Amino acid sequence: MKTFRSIMSWVIPVALGLAVALILNVFVVQRVKVDGPSMQPNLQNNEKVWTFKQAKIHRGSVIVFDANGVDPQVTSKTNYVKRVIAVGGDTVESKNGNLYVNGKKVSHSYISSYQRTTGTGNWTLQSISIKNGWLKYNGATKVPKGYYFVLGDHRSVSNDSRYWGFVPKSKILGVVKVAPWSGTKTTRYNINQFWKHYFKN
């Protein structure tokens, strides 16, 4: 009997700990690895970040989503990390190296001029949807309700909404946050807090 009690004295706490960890991973927070250079300079290839599943998504938030069914080139569950540029009902335009959402200029303080302008060109949602042959919402002039338009921070190397269209909310795993002990003060701000100052004053 003592042996049984002794065993249970550590089995129960371990089981409870595993159960709590599983619940947190499924419903609250998850660690995700960044794959590729598309979020440089703020997130690096192979960097691990926290994804909060219940966090509210804003323009400027960095999100993780399953690209299977979004990017036509992806045929199995694959996590993409991108920045939300526009939400349902928004218009988006790129003009002379600047982004405009609903006619308002977006701040680009989180990336360099090179990363912002190289290989981007001038476009509207309608022009890039037709040019790149989006399978859904070809010819769209606004982001549909329940969808998001996303870009990588390093625009010249990022495979993002410009090429395959909008991300449905159902595919989003959560909002990325950089831990206080990770990265630099600047990169933490650019990932965690930039959305609060999204439009250029």
Q: Which residue has the higher pLDDT, 20 or 183?
A: 183
Segment 120-145 mean pLDDT: 93
Residue partners of 68: CB distance under 8 A and separation at least 6:
74, 75, 76, 77, 78
Q: What is the CATH number of the domain that holds 51?
A: 2.10.109.10
- Domain span holding position 12: 1-29
Contact criterion met (CB below 8 Å) for 122 and 142: no
Distance separating alpha carbons of residues 12 and 100, to the nearest angstrom: 55
Same domain, 53 and 77: yes
pLDDT at 17 over 60: no
Write out pLDDT tens, residues 137-192.
999 999 999 999 999 999 999 999 999 999 999 999 999 999 888 889 999 999 99
Contact criterion met (CB below 8 Å) for 127 and 138: no
Distance separating alpha carbons of residues 21 and 85, to the nearest angstrom: 32
Same domain, 143 and 168: yes
Segment 64-85 mean pLDDT: 96
Same domain, 94 and 116: yes
Known catalytic residue: 82? yes
Residue partners of 53: CB distance under 8 A and separation at least 6:
27, 28, 29, 30, 173, 174
Same domain, 134 and 187: yes
Segment 21-43 mean pLDDT: 77
Q: Which residue has the higher pLDDT, 67 or 1?
A: 67
Same domain, 72 and 89: yes
What's the confidence (pLDDT) of residue 78?
Answer: 95
Identify the active-site residue in 38, 61, 129, 158: 38
What integer best gives the mean pLDDT of the chain? Answer: 88
Identify the active-site residue in 9, 33, 48, 82: 82
Segment 64-86 mean pLDDT: 96
What's the confidence (pLDDT) of residue 113?
Answer: 84
Known catalytic residue: 113? no
What's the confidence (pLDDT) of residue 164?
Answer: 97
Segment 102-118 mean pLDDT: 89
Question: CA–CA distance from 187 to each of 39, 106, 160, 180, 193 (Å)?
Answer: 11, 18, 21, 11, 10
What is the pTM assigned to this prediction?
A: 0.85
Grade residue 28 by pLDDT with cuts at 50, 70 and 90.
Answer: low
Same domain, 169 and 109: yes
Segment 9-31 mean pLDDT: 54
Grade residue 19 by pLDDT with cuts at 50, 70 and 90.
Answer: very low
Same domain, 175 and 156: yes
pLDDT at 76 over 50: yes
pLDDT at 25 over 50: no
Segment 47-74 mean pLDDT: 96
Contact criterion met (CB below 8 Å) for 152 and 111: no
Same domain, 111 and 192: yes
